[in-house]
Chain A
Amino acid sequence: MTPKFSLKHLHKSFGQKHVLQGVNLEIFPGESMVIIGGSGTGKSVLLKCLLGLLHADKGSIQMDGQEILKESSTQQEQRLQDIGVLFQGSALFDSLTVWENVAFRLIYAQHMNRKEAKLIALQKLASVGLNESVANLSPAEISGGMQRRVALARAIATQPHVLFFDEPTAGLDPIFSSVINDLIRGCVNELGATALTITHDMKSARAVGDRIAMLYDGKILWCGPADEIDTCDNPYVQQFIHGSATGPIHLETDLQHVA
């Protein structure tokens, strides 16, 4: 089976800061992959490289066997048509209302009429637990957790076959976290979508992922089935999932460079 995404020796630096230093990862069609890792390890950067929003310095990224580091902007546009993305900061358009945000791709790219698009948007909003009363508000008028859910609704509105979620449950209470986890699972199970979820939240990682990969120090340190993560003998992974302050993962502070 050709992987949906295949990353080889991927490198990305910002000036002197080497964020990705040889990432190797394969994601198969219909699979839900979860990437865990400490904050600032480059998870969001990795996701933006996959989308082509950031240009990787070295290595290769293939989607359906096609190299995307060499693609033209037209090819990128075409490729993105079947991808839904939830950005870490939600990234809702504040000049539009909530429902227009959700229906954005339907209206602007698929030229659906506004009435039909609104119906779909309301459906999607309901699936993330938001009712009609928020639909006509502007994104600035709703809470951060609600914005997150609106952004999620926008990502899945056109039922794309590839989904990227950057910390979908950050800032949500446990109940809504479960709702979101179920929703992501549903997209994968029912639509046969391929999903890549970035998270810190181990509960969510276990609920959502078929496989889990851990990013550390610019590389994929461990990658395996979600139910094996508790029994794996990698000390880094064990420290991360138990959240203990002592272990091989050192807190990379600037003080270290001074000392």
Chain B
Amino acid sequence: MTDRDKTEENRIKRKKTVTTLLANIGRVFLDFLASTGRVTLFLFQALSQGFRPPYYLHQILRQVWEIGYLSLPVVGLTALFTGMVLALQSYTGFSRFNAENVIANVVVLSMTRELGPVLAGLMVSGRIGAAMAAEIGTMRVTEQIDALTTLSTNPQKYLIAPRLLAGVTMLPLLVLVADSIGVFGGYLVSVYRLGFNPALYLQQTFDFMEIQDVTSGLIKAAFFGFIIALMGCYHGFNSKGGAQGVGKATTYAVVSSSILILITNYLLTSLLFEQG
């Protein structure tokens, strides 16, 4: 083979790579649009069904229990250690400027505005989003969802709407708890490890905290709860093909809700940031 043949071949190869690359990007983009459409349609159906009676109170309470109460240990532990680490790390940083007295402020601000909602969201997505996808997915592949339909019960109303409702309402409550425990963690480390005056630390915590720090975190939490429930339900509801399909649905639910939480967090922060 001559050199010219070789360069010609390389050129064709490169051209091919470029076209396949473009085709792949195009395909990913189209897939993205298609799945956004499907999720929106799914959500629309769930909402339009969910607002119409009958309401399945028992189902709603069960989800409230699962999301709100049973997630408390996981979320509490995460918040406690995060608050503790925050106090330690900010001490390391701020003692270099002799600004140790802002630690209380840093802890409470980071917890309420950022770490409370995001960490609680990610932990709950692993716990609840996965469980929802697995439960609904199993119901799908074992024909239980078909059975619901034939027993005059709308599966969207019976399964999806209660989960969405519980997600939206329970996450803010969980985050409120997480905020308090996180601040308490910071207090523990500051007082018992770093030797702060307890009364002074608490005063500093509450003096600088504004109500908006907390509410902005709670608004985020409501969005995150919605995302977790929506992704868990959507992937579970559309799973197919036995145990393997359910496993896939679970993975998709956790991965997609985690990514969406992080993106939404940025968008909401920049929105809320503009309002001070």
Contact partners of A83 in chain B: CB under 8 A: 150
- B153:A108 contact, CB within 8 angstroms: yes
Does B154 touch A at the CB level, under 8 Å?
yes
Least CB distance from B38 to A in Å reads 16
Q: Which of B147, B151, B152, B154 has the most CB of A within 10 A?
A: B151
- Contact digits for A76-100, partner B, Cβ 8 Å, 1 yes 0 no: 1100110111011101111000000
B125-162 CB contact bits vs A (8 Å, 1 = yes)? 00000000000000100111011111111100010000
Contacts of A84 in B (CB 8 A): 150
**B208 contacts partner chain A, Cβ-Cβ < 8 Å:** no
Cβ of B56 < 8 Å from any Cβ of A? yes
Give residues 50-96 of A contacting B (CB, 8 Å).
51, 53, 76-77, 80-81, 83-85, 87-89, 91-94
User: Does A109 touch B at the CB level, under 8 Å?
Assistant: yes
Complex interface: chain A residues within 8 A of B142 (CB)? 89, 91
- In contact, B151 and A89 (Cβ under 8 angstroms): no
CB neighbours (8 Å) of B151 from chain A are 104-105, 108-109, 154
A81 and B152 contacting across the interface, CB-CB below 8 Å? yes
Check if B146 sits within 8 Å of A48, measured CB to CB.
yes
Interface pair B154/A77, CB less than 8 Å apart: yes
CA distance A94 to B152 in the complex (A): 18
Shortest beta-carbon distance, B132 to chain A, in Å? 13
Cβ B149 vs Cβ A91 within 8 A: no
Looking at the complex, which one of A80, A88, A89, A108 makes contact with B150 (CB distance below 8 Å)?
A: A80
Q: How long is the Cα–Cα vector from A104 to B147 in the complex, in angstroms? A: 10
A93, B147: Cβ atoms under 8 Å? Answer: yes
Closest A residue, CB atoms, query B62: A95
Q: Which of A51, A84, A85 has the most CB of B within 10 A?
A: A85
A187 to B217, CA, bound (A): 59
Q: How many angstroms between the C-alpha atoms of A94 and B138 in the bound complex?
A: 10
CA distance A81 to B150 in the complex (A): 7
Q: Which residues of B contact A81 (CB under 8 A)?
A: 152
Cα of A154 to Cα of B139 in the assembled complex, Å:
17
Q: Give B30-85 interface residues, CB cut-off 8 Å to A.
A: 54, 56
* Chain A residues closer than 8 Å to B158, beta-carbon distance: 108
Cβ-defined contact, B146 with A93, below 8 A:
no
- Cβ–Cβ < 8 Å partners of A77 in chain B: 152, 154
Interface residues of B in 152-204 (CB under 8 A from A): 152-154, 158
Nearest opposing residue in chain A for B143, CB measure = A91
From B148, which residue of chain A is reached at the shortest CB distance?
Answer: A93
Determine the chain B residues whose CB is within 8 A of the CB of A89 once the complex forms. 142-143
Tell me how far the C-beta of B17 lies from the nearest C-beta in chain A, rounded to whole angstroms. 30
With the chains together, A84 CA to B146 CA distance in Å? 12
Extra A-B contacts (8), CB below 8 Å, given A81-B152, A85-B150: A51-B146, A51-B149, A51-B150, A89-B143, A91-B143, A91-B144, A91-B146, A108-B153
Q: Nearest 9 pairs between A and B by C-beta?
A: A109-B152, A91-B143, A91-B147, A85-B150, A105-B151, A87-B143, A53-B146, A91-B144, A104-B151
Contact surface of B with A, Cβ cutoff 8 Å: 54, 56, 139, 142-144, 146-154, 158
Q: Which positions in A face B, CB cutoff 8 Å? A: 48, 51, 53, 76-77, 80-81, 83-85, 87-89, 91-94, 104-105, 108-109, 111, 154
21 A-B residue pairs with Cβ-Cβ distance under 8 Å, sorted by A, are A51-B146, A51-B149, A51-B150, A53-B149, A53-B150, A77-B152, A80-B150, A80-B152, A85-B147, A87-B146, A89-B143, A91-B146, A91-B147, A93-B139, A104-B151, A104-B153, A105-B151, A105-B153, A108-B54, A109-B151, A111-B54
